[in-house]
Amino acid sequence: MQEIYFHDFVADLDEMNELKLGRAYKNLSEACEGADALLILNNHEKYINLTRSDTGNLLILDAWQVCKNINNSFTLGNMLLTGDEQKCE
């Protein structure tokens, strides 16, 4: 099983580590080191300013579409698109 690294701009680091779900980091760039993917699961305003220098070449799932400075990230809206979609009317 792969280890989970996680980070939150608001949650207390000690409280996150007490969950024993993985390794919590105070610094997002440190959490990204050695990771395979970055899942952004909340819409905190600090994610808006993320760049590839913060995340490296990780696969990014930006569930809230807040990473305005990062191209080639997946969102819940585009991750299942195939190009053959039909418009819902």
- The tens place of each residue's pLDDT in the chain, 89 residues long, gives 588 998 999 999 999 999 999 999 999 999 999 889 999 999 999 999 999 988 988 999 998 889 888 887 888 776 665 555 444 43
Supply angle C-alpha 29, 62, 54, rounded to 5.
20
CA of 89: how far to CAs of 14, 21, 39, in Å? 49, 43, 31
pTM: 0.75
Cα separation, 23 vs 1, whole angstroms: 14
CA of 12: how far to CAs of 23, 35, 47, 73, 81, in Å? 13, 21, 18, 27, 36
